[in-house]
Amino acid sequence: MNTTKFTFKTLVLTLCLACFFSCGDDKKKETTEQPVKTEKKEEVSQPKTIEITLNSDDNMKFDLSTINVYEGQTVTLKLVHTGEMSKDVMGHNFVLLTQGTSVSEFGNSVVELKDNDYIPEDTSNIIAHTKLIGGGESDTITFEAPAKGIYDFLCSFPGHYAIMKGKFIVRENK
Ligand SMILES: [Cu+2]
């Protein structure tokens, strides 16, 4: 009997030791995999609509240099002119260009188009735009966010795009 008990104890002890050493590795793996679990928390779908206010002023400036939205969102953008100058001398608009359209080339191509508020007849390079406004005025537009990517926006009043421009960033909606 004693011999049997001793053998059994030895067997249990050996198994425990074997388990202790092999389990050590598994615990390390679990620790390094933890950051993957936290990523799942960010998979919250974004709201379907987003409202953006873009201010412009008598100093020829927008108050935003980047606008962030998510793919699939309906964007309501309100352009406000907080200054007092008329649209003939300090007019502002918001023009969102398609990818691959150069801000400077577009800006230069519309300088003669005062009668059409500096918007070309062919709008194939424009995703969305407001009307041209002067001090104290505002204009609100609603459009669907384009596919994920980085787009340029500008004010197309002659000469303004040098300062009045920015990036419209569309992120993937997970
Ligand atoms: Cu402007």
Q: Do residue 61 and residue 14 come from a single domain?
A: no
Residues measured by CB to lie within 5 Å of ligand 1, the ion: 92, 155, 157, 160, 164
- From ligand 1's centre to the CA of 73, what distance in Å? 26
State the SS3 of the chain.
CHHHHHHHHHHHHHHHHHHHHHHHHHHHHHHHHHHHHHHHHHCCCCCCEEEEEEEECCCCCECCCEEEEECCCEEEEEEEECCCCCHHHHCECCEEECCCCCHHHHHHHCCCCHHHCCCCCCCCCEEEECCCECCCCEEEEEEECCCCEEEEEECCCCCHHHCCEEEEEEECCC
Q: Do residue 67 and residue 90 come from a single domain?
A: yes
Q: Please, what is the average pLDDT of the chain?
A: 84
Q: Do residue 151 and residue 117 come from a single domain?
A: yes
Q: Is 156 a residue whose pLDDT tops 60?
A: yes
- From ligand 1's centre to the CA of 48, what distance in Å? 30
Q: Is 43 a residue whose pLDDT tops 70?
A: no
Q: Do residue 20 and residue 79 come from a single domain?
A: no
Q: Which residues contact 57 (CB under 8 A, 6 or more apart)?
A: 63, 81, 82, 83
- From ligand 1's centre to the CA of 170, what distance in Å? 23
- From ligand 1's centre to the CA of 35, what distance in Å? 46
Question: Across residues 97-124, what is the average pLDDT?
Answer: 97
Q: Is 172 a residue whose pLDDT tops 60?
A: yes
Structural domain count of the chain = 2
Question: Across residues 96-111, what is the average pLDDT?
Answer: 98
- From ligand 1's centre to the CA of 151, what distance in Å? 18
CATH number of the domain enclosing 77: 2.60.40.420
| Residues spanned by the domain of 74 | 49-171
Q: Do residue 74 and residue 28 come from a single domain?
A: no
- From ligand 1's centre to the CA of 150, what distance in Å? 21
- From ligand 1's centre to the CA of 92, what distance in Å? 3
pLDDT band at 158 (very low <50, low <70, confident <90, very high): very high
